[in-house]
Amino acid sequence: MAQQATPVRRVRLGKAIGPEPTAVSGVVLLLPGGDEVSHRKPATLLATSYVRTLGRRLMRTGRAEGLVTHVVHYRFRGWNGSDANQVSDALWAADEVVRRYGDVPVCLAGVDMGGRAALRAGGHEAVNSVLAIAPWLPEEDVAASPEPVRQLGGRRVMIVHGTNDERTDPELSFRLAARAKKANRDVCRFEVHSDRHGLQQHRDEVLSLAEDFVMGVLFGRAFSRPVADAFAAPPPLGLRMPLASGFGRRR
């Protein structure tokens, strides 16, 4: 009996989160985490729960401005070394945004391994900004040594990391931010003191920070004072900016 061919997995965009605006003027592509090595199909609900929460928050704030948010559903669960599957999937998703919506600014917003994919894919011509939350940046990786940063030139970049992250080393995201800042002044990084990888202790503040950033980079809203200060401050100050408890509640 002939063996059945293995089905080809394709990257796809999830349905727009919430109702789509009449006219789309900005897009956030949400990049979930994954595994270091795996060719299994990603687990849809659990793997995307954090970015879907972020997408709902952004949609509620930005729909009147024409914002659409989509989760990127990868082909595989793993980064898979030099294949960097999640990067090519993110680049495909940016191409798909251009096909669907035309010439609109795109923000890549990734968590964990999705944060690394967002940073790597930030050079796509449609992307004007990158948000990397608790990004996975292995210290010794044959796929990238050191991790590239030139593609981030001309983009607004924000990295957010918990200081007690036990899964992705916050010191590595600081080092990457410091390298990126040398080539691109529009880089900032916030530290969420005492929070761990899931950033649950200060979840509301992190979501408010993401909202502040996205609405500023996509639609030109004025940044809050802490965000503006983080972009303007020289390193290391703007790369170790503490995220204040209660951020966003008094704006």
CA of 194: how far to CAs of 91, 105, 135, 167, 170, in Å? 34, 34, 17, 14, 12
- Write the CATH number for 74: 3.40.50.1820
Decide if 188 is inside a domain. Answer: yes
Decide if 148 is inside a domain. Answer: yes
pLDDT in tens, 56-90: 999 999 999 999 999 999 998 888 888 889 999 99
State the total domains in the chain.
1
139 exposure class (CB count in 10 Å sphere: 0-12, 13-18, 19+): exposed
Decide if 11 is inside a domain. Answer: no
Residue 84 φ/ψ, nearest 5 degrees = 45, 55
pLDDT in tens, 107-166: 999 999 999 999 999 999 999 999 999 999 987 655 556 789 999 999 999 999 998 898
Q: What is the pLDDT of residue 145?
A: 62
Decide if 8 is inside a domain. Answer: no
Coil, helix or strand at residue 156: strand
Domain of 125, in residue numbers: 23-242
Q: Where are the beta strands (DSSP E) in 163-240?
A: 187-192
Q: What is the pLDDT of residue 144?
A: 54
Decide if 7 is inside a domain. Answer: no
Q: Is the pLDDT of residue 198 over 60?
A: yes
User: CA 243 to CA 237: how far, in whole Å?
Assistant: 13
| Mean pLDDT across 227-249 | 94
Length in residues, the chain:
251
